[in-house]
Amino acid sequence: MSKRFSILLALLMLISVVMFAASCGEKPSTTTTASSDKETTTHEDVTSADNTTTQQATEETTEEESTETELTGREKMSGFEDVDFGGKTFLIATDPRDDPDWANAADFWVESLTNDAINDAVYDRNDIIQKLYNCKIEIDNGGWANGFNASIASGDGRYILGTCTSTATNSQAKSGNFYNLLKLDVDWSQPWWDQNYIADTSTDGRLYSIIGDFAVHSMSATWIMFFNKAVYESKFSDVDIYQMVKDRKWTMDAMMDFIEKVKYDANGDSEYTFSEESDADIVGIMTTAHNDRGLYFAAGLRYVTKTDSTTDGSYISALTNQPSAVDVMDKLIAVCNTPGYISGGYTNVQKAVQNGTTLFAGEVMDVLRRMSGAESLRVGVLPQPLFDENQERYYCYVNDQMYIMLAPVAYSDMSVLSDFLTLFAYHSSMIVRPAFVNTVKYTYSSDEESAEMIDIILDSRVYDPGYITKISTDMDGYVSTIISNKKNNYTQAATKFAKSSTTNIENFRNDILAIDDNY
Return the pLDDT at 375.
87
CATH class, range 222-399+446-501: alpha beta
Q: Where are the domains of the chain?
A: 88-219+402-442, 222-399+446-501
- Give tens-digit pLDDT for 93-103: 998 776 767 77
Let me know if the fold of 88-219+402-442 is the same as that of 222-399+446-501: yes
Residue 90 has pLDDT above 90, yes or no: yes
CATH fold, domain 88-219+402-442, is: D-Maltodextrin-Binding Protein; domain 2 (3.40.190)
Q: Is 458 left (phi over 0), alpha (psi -120 to 50) or beta?
A: alpha
User: The pTM is what?
Assistant: 0.84
Q: What's the distance, Cα to Cα, between the start and end of the chain in Å?
A: 107
Q: Residue 436: pLDDT band by 50, 70, 90 thresholds?
A: very high
% the chain with pLDDT above 90: 73
- Give tens-digit pLDDT for 458-493: 999 999 999 998 898 889 989 999 999 999 999 999
137-168: b or e for each residue (b if 16 or more CB lie within 10 Å)? bebbbebbeebbbebbeeeebbbbbbbbbbeb
Q: Which helix (H) or strand (E) holds 126?
A: helix 117-133
Q: Which helix (H) or strand (E) holds 152?
A: helix 147-154
Q: How far apart are CA 179 and CA 420, in angstroms?
A: 15
Q: How far apart are CA 472 and CA 476, in angstroms?
A: 8
% the chain with pLDDT above 70: 86
- Give tens-digit pLDDT for 120-148: 999 999 999 999 999 999 999 988 877 89
Q: How far apart are CA 147 and CA 153, in angstroms?
A: 10
